């Protein structure tokens, strides 16, 4: 990249693409330039193969074959280029599909290219960018079974009560097992639901099941 950062844009919104063409040289001090564009995924591979870009920005919301398929094609045609997906939404599943296709990160696309300045500069600097919902999803999926989200702090008594709720024990049965009154069980259950940030025993049971506690 000694002669500057070559950027290709795959997006069917001509005005947005033109905005990036004007924005990138300005915000990068002339280091980054849009050297090629494609208005659909079908032509993306050919465009990047000829342009040999360092960075490729791909809009996920395009006509068939779509943005995810375009990322796959771009990665095959220009394996040394870093590819970033762009989307107006923050659907973590869609962003995850883009990462699986070979994207190095995800840029939140807004109405104005100028609003992308900070994430674009981070991308040009070599950073990988992920939206918060996607990062949370990846953390949760990597969490070992038998654990709860880090924001939920339960002691041994809480966990025992949660297991009893998850296995379908009634208030009366729990009172007998814990040697407390039914009123105490109801109070402890209400406090547990608040800790778990759920509104019912059913939701608490589902959370216990997903965490591998039953």
Please write the tens of the pLDDT for every residue from 106-153. Answer: 888 876 777 778 888 888 887 777 766 666 666 556 555 555 666 677
Runs of H (alpha helix) within 78-131:
92-100, 117-124
* Average pLDDT, consecutive stretches of 10 residues, N- to C-terminus, the chain (214 residues): 80 91 90 92 91 94 87 92 85 79 84 78 79 64 56 82 86 92 93 84 76 62
Instruction: Indicate the pTM of the whole model.
Output: 0.62
Tokens of 78: 């220009």
Q: Where in the chain is the domain with CATH 1.10.10.10?
A: 156-210
CATH class name, domain 156-210: mainly alpha
The secondary structure of residue 136, as a DSSP letter, is: H
Alpha-carbon span 39 to 57, nearest angstrom: 12
**Domain 5-141 superfamily per CATH:** Response regulator (3.40.50.2300)
CB 161 within 8 A of CB 188: yes
Residues of the chain with CATH 3.40.50.2300: 5-141
């Amino acid at each position: 990249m000694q002669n500057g950062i070559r950027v290709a844009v795959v997006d069917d919104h001509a005005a947005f693409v033109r905005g990036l063409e004007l924005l990138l040289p300005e915000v990068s001090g002339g280091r980054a330039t849009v050297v090629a564009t494609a208005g659909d995924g079908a032509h993306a591979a050919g465009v990047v193969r000829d342009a040999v870009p360092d960075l490729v920005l791909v809009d996920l919301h395009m006509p068939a074959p779509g943005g995810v398929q375009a990322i796959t094609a771009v990665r095959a045609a220009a394996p040394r280029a870093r590819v970033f997906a762009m989307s107006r939404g923050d659907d973590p599943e869609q962003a995850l599909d883009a990462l699986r296709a070979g994207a190095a990160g995800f840029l939140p696309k807004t109405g104005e290219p100028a609003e992308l300045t900070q994430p674009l500069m981070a991308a040009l600097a070599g950073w990988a960018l992920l939206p918060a919902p996607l990062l949370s999803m990846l953390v949760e999926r990597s969490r070992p079974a038998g654990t709860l989200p880090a924001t939920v702090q339960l002691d041994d008594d809480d966990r025992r009560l949660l297991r009893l709720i998850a296995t379908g024990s009634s208030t009366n049965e729990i009172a007998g097992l814990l040697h407390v009154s039914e009123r105490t069980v109801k109070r402890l259950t209400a406090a547990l639901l608040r800790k778990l940030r759920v509104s019912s025993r059913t939701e608490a049971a589902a959370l216990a099941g997903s965490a591998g506690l039953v």
